[in-house]
Structures are given as structure tokens and as C-alpha cells.
Chains A and B, each alone.
Chain A
Amino acid sequence: MLEIKNLHARIAEDGTEIIRGLNLTVKAGEVAAIMGPNGSGKSTLSYILSGREDYEVTEGDILYNGESILELDPSERAAKGIFLAFQYPVEIPGVATMQFLKVALNEQRKYRGEDELSTPDFIRRVKEASAKLQINPDMLKRPLNVGFSGGEKKRAEILQMALLEPKLCVLDETDSGLDIDALKIVSDGVNALRSPDRAVIVITHYQRLLEYIVPDSVHVLYKGQIIKSGDKSLALDLEANGYADIIDAAA
């Protein structure tokens, strides 16, 4: 489903290279976990997948279902089914949450040549999805993410994901800021989306999330490269021993 080949990318503004020859393959139906020390480039990778223009790909390619997405802009990628749950969701004053959800959903449908949702149908879907994630409906009356607590923002990201039904879900530290109960609720939400035609990339620092969302593969990202890949036992190993040995071995 996703094939990243020898990817090099830099910050557009100052040319600093952040991703330095990264290779990663994620198959449909797979849950891949990406771990790695702070500042290693995990969020940057997720932004590049989503098409953020602050970064420039200088070498390599990203294939999604066999086709390069490098020329697609963020909204096209989203409409094709790539979803990024942000590490730091953005507050947008003046944009009503419900209106945002409806426009996003319908713009994606339009792009794919599907009919727009009727308002009652839309509202029903939001109600169902937010009930499952135990999101207080009053929150959805506020402007987008404005004044949401850290955990509420993360839940709202998963709500968007549930509504948009993407094919490739990238979760960037969705677990940080969640309380113990919320971690379980959000994980259930993600697991509910697991299906043979969908892939999930979970970026996290902690083994705990991976107990709920059990990964098929675990990859260590360090200085812009995947330096080690393994199965779920790799996460346990990291939890016990830290990154030092793996970094030394790769050097």
C-alpha cells in the first residue's frame, strides 16, 4: 500500500536535511509502529506523507497503491485516503467544528466522484462516531479544536479519522496527553478501523499504546533513516533497553 524508497527531504526554508535515505514498506492490512528518539524525524515523515509544503523531497519516491504521490497536494492526498492524526492538532478560531467536518467529508467525496452527504445523514454519522469515542456533543459546537484540552484534541482527531474512513492512517503520538481510559477508548476506535484494505502507521514513544493497538511491524527511525525493523518484540526490547544499543549497532 505504501512504499517509501530512499527518501531524502529537507526543510524548504533553510535546506536542512531531515529525512536522509529512508526506506519503509507498509502493506494493506498492516499496522506498523514507528519509534525513535526525539527529533529523529518521525513527525517530519508524517508531514511529508500528507504533502506539507514546508518540506521538499530532494530524492527518492513515495508510492501509494503503486503510484507516486509526490506531485499531489495535501487535499488530493487526503481525498485519496491518506490521513494524518496530528501530534499537535491545530486550533482554528471562527471555523465551526461541524461545518469543518461536513466540508471536509463532502469535498473528499466530491473528489472521488461520490455524492455529497445529506445533512441528516451527516449528523447521524457524527453522532454515532462521537458516541463511540465518548466525545461530548457540546465540544462539536465550538470552533475547531479551540479550547479543547490536550486529550480532547486527540480524540477529535480520531473522530475525524472515523468519519473520513481513510485507507492509510498515520497516528503521530496520538497516545500522548490521553488519560488511561481515553487511551483505551481511542485504541478501540483505531482497532475498529483495522481491515484488510487499510494500513495504519502508529508513531509512538511508548510500548503501552502498542499493547492496545498491536503492531505487525516495528521500525526505529533515527536521524532520518529506518535503522532497524522487527516485529512487536522490538518495541518491548526498546522499552527495556532504550535506543543506545541499536544506534551503536547501526553506526
Chain B
Amino acid sequence: MNMQTAITMTAAETALVDAYTAAIGDLPGEGAVLPARDALLADLRTQGLPTRRLESWHYTDLRALLRSVPALEPTAFAERVDPLVPGSAVLAVLNGKADAKGLPATVNVRTYAESLIDGVAAADLIARDAEDAIGRINGSLVRDGFEIEVPEGTVLEQPLELQLVQSAGQNHSRFPVTFGASTKATVIERHLSVSDAASLVTVVSDLILDDNADITWIILQQQGASDSHLAQVNFDLGTNAKLRLFVINAGGKLVRQEIHGVTTGEGADFKLRGINLLGGETHTDITFTLGHDVPNTTSTEVIRNVLFDRAKGVFQGQIRVAPDAQKTDAKMACNTLLLSDDADFSAKPELEIFADDVQCGHGATVIDINPTHLYYLRARGIPENKARAMLVNAFVDEIVEELEDEGLIETLETIISVWLEKHA
């Protein structure tokens, strides 16, 4: 068998290569950027999209699941919407193009296209590892996004909203974000679909938190029912830095949200809170890896899943504790409410611990609506379907409540109840 034999490309693989060929003359960046793009595409072309034979893609066979990729639609129209939280500064990416109008003055920001054009971005355009399909697709086709620096000591009183609005075609965006020492901010990464046309959206966000930065990053994914959404957040936490990452998936047909982090400064604390609202035919995967690389760092991960219809969900969570990362404290939980016999959720928690003085644990449960709770609500006059919806809501609301910001909590609660009413 000749290892060099080119694979037979699937429709989606062909479409990605075609998109590259069609766009390359027009994509920003030359110099070192172009060969970096070429190299990523070459890997994609020779290896194809990942299949279940690769460990990190075992539950999400991307090659089989990504049936088609919409062609580029450079003239499709999308416009900004009101921010989720009134008063937020908005950085909009409309159908893959950053809208450079009205950039906030509180942070240093430029479009990622500029970074590609002057070549600074070339250093970003590498795959994390051999299985990094999202890095490859996004890195070869990336057009825009924002490069953001929050200067040391800055406290943002209002959230910063990264608003990605998609109506058709493809969107490949990047957000390298540096939070300087002692900064405090809430960032909302919001993915919206404004048409029924299928889109492919890939996003890579690279977050660096300097010492004592205290950041809440909320990913609200509300793509359309025929969209594919491939996203990756990479983060690096400095000394005493705190990152709270909320992920809410409430849309999309094929969704893979990767989260990869390392704690590189002592006292760093990471919290992941995930809500997967899965209905219809969706396949939604959250894949998480965290390296506790230095002593005295902490993390907790709580994922709550609600599944209807024929939805499939995946959570892979891997926590690694380096040999000298003593006093690591890491706890991971994944709880699933399966509301349909045809729905299915796979949870794969994994601990790789090389230090001896640590506290690590994980648990995965599948539960049903508590019949006694249901009866109690009904005995007070609440009809069964409404009572059920209240209990499902309660299951995920415990996570939303952790946000501590009343306005934001209410907004997210509304989004969640609207979604549940539509699917229950």
C-alpha cells in the first residue's frame, strides 16, 4: 500500500479545496501568510477531514457528518443586530467580513484582515496538532475577525460583543485577544444566523490572560438548523488569572466547539459552564482539554445537556495535570437530560494525572425529569407540558444563575425558555 496515495475526496472536502482556489486571489495577506495558508490546505487535502479513527474525533466523524459545504457567497447581505446587552460595545463580523465602523476606544483593536495583510497573523496560522482540522480549515481560509488588546488595568464596565452574523456561504474568522494584567471584562461571542440558507462558520479565538486578569467569556451559538459551526477557543492563563467560559449551544446542524487551555501561572482559575440545548437532527460536540501545567491552579467544568428529537451530543473533557503541578484542584461534571428515546449523548471524561498531591474528579450522569417534582407542580394547577418546561429550565438555569449579572441572566434565560418552548 502506497502511503502517498491521495484519498478520494468527499463532496465537502472538494468544496473546501474549491473555496480555497476560488478565494485565494482575494484573501487578505501575502508574504509569510500565503505559504502558511497553503501548508494548512495541503494537509487538509492529503489527510482529508478527520474520521472516527482519530481519537479526538471518535464521536464526531467529521468526514462522514460534514455532508456538504456551501460555496462562498461574497455578495450575500447581512447586517448588525442590537447587542444582547444594551450598552455593549459591538465588534461585528458580517458574513465573514469585519465591520470596522464604530470600534470602541476602550480597547486596542484592528481587523484581522489588517493583521493578515501586514503579516503579523502568519505566526497564528499553524495547526495545534495533527488532528486539528478546525485550525486547518480556518487557517487556510481565514478572511477576517478582530485582533484585540485590552490594556493593562482596564476594567470594562459594559460587555464587549463579538457579533458574527451569517446569512449564507462561509465565514472563517479569528480573534486573537490579549487581556493585559489586572484587566476585568465580559466578552460575548455571539453567533447568529439570519436566513435559512446553509452556512459554514469556522472561528478560532486565541485568548491570553495576563496576571490577575478576570475575564468572563460567553459563547452564544444560535446558528440555523442547516448550518455547520466549527469553533475553537485556545487560552493561556497567567498568574492568578481567572477565566469563566460559558458556552451555550442553541442551534446549528453540525457543531464542534473545541476548548483548549493551559494554566501557566500559579493561582490561575478556570471555570467552564456549558449548556447544550439540542433538538432536531443536530450533532453537537464540545471537546475540551485543559493542561494544569504549574502548581496551585484550579478548574471546574459543568456541562448540562438537554436533548430532544433525534439530537446527538458529545462532551469530551480531558484534564491533564503535569508532574510538578501539585495542589491542582479540578472537578468536571456532565449531566444530561434525555427527553427523547431517539436522542443520544456521549460523555467521555478523562483525567491524566502525573502529580500526586492533587484533587481531581469527574462525573457523568443521565437523568430524567423527576416525577415527584412534576407531580408537585401539577398539583398546584400547572399543566403538565408547562410543568415539564419549568423543570427543564430549572436544570439549565442553575448554570445561568452563576453569571451574577442580573441583566445578562435575564437575557439568557429568555433565550433558553424561547428555545425550550419551541422544542418541547
Q: A residues within 8 Å of B by Cβ?
A: 50-54, 73-75, 77-79, 84, 86, 89-90, 92-95, 100, 103-105, 107-108, 111, 143, 160, 164
Contact = CB atoms under 8 A, between A and B. Distances in A.
Contacts of B408: none
A94 B395 contact: yes
A95 B398 CA distance: 9
B386 A107 contact: yes
Contacts of A103: 382, 386, 390
Contacts, number: 70
Interface in B320-376: 372-373, 375-376
B393 A94 contact: yes
A95 B394 contact: yes
B381 A100 contact: no
Given A94-B395, A94-B397, A107 B382 contact: yes
A51 B378 CA distance: 9
28 contacts: A50-B379, A51-B378, A51-B379, A53-B375, A54-B375, A75-B378, A75-B382, A78-B378, A78-B379, A78-B381, A90-B376, A92-B377, A92-B394, A93-B394, A94-B391, A94-B397, A94-B398, A95-B377, A95-B391, A100-B377, A100-B380, A100-B390, A103-B382, A103-B386, A104-B382, A108-B381, A111-B381, A164-B381
A75 B384 contact: yes
A109 to B, nearest CB: 9
A111 B381 CA distance: 9
Nearest to B382: A107
B387 interface: yes
B31 interface: no
B380 A52 contact: no
A51 B381 CA distance: 11
A89 B380 CA distance: 12
Contacts of A50: 379
Nearest to A109: B381
Contacts of A94: 391, 393-395, 397-398
A84 to B, nearest CB: 6
Contact of A164 (B372, B380, B393): B380
B394 A74 contact: no
A135 B398 CA distance: 25
B381 A104 contact: yes
Q: Looking at A73, A74, A103, A111, which has the most chain B CB atoms within 10 Å of its CB? A: A74
Q: Which 5 A-B pairs have the closest CB atoms?
A: A94-B394, A78-B381, A108-B381, A74-B378, A104-B380
B382 A95 contact: no
B383 to A, nearest CB: 5
Given A73-B384, A94-B398, A107-B386, 4 more contacts: A74-B378, A92-B391, A93-B398, A104-B382
A54 B384 CA distance: 15
A79 B381 contact: yes
A95 B395 CA distance: 9
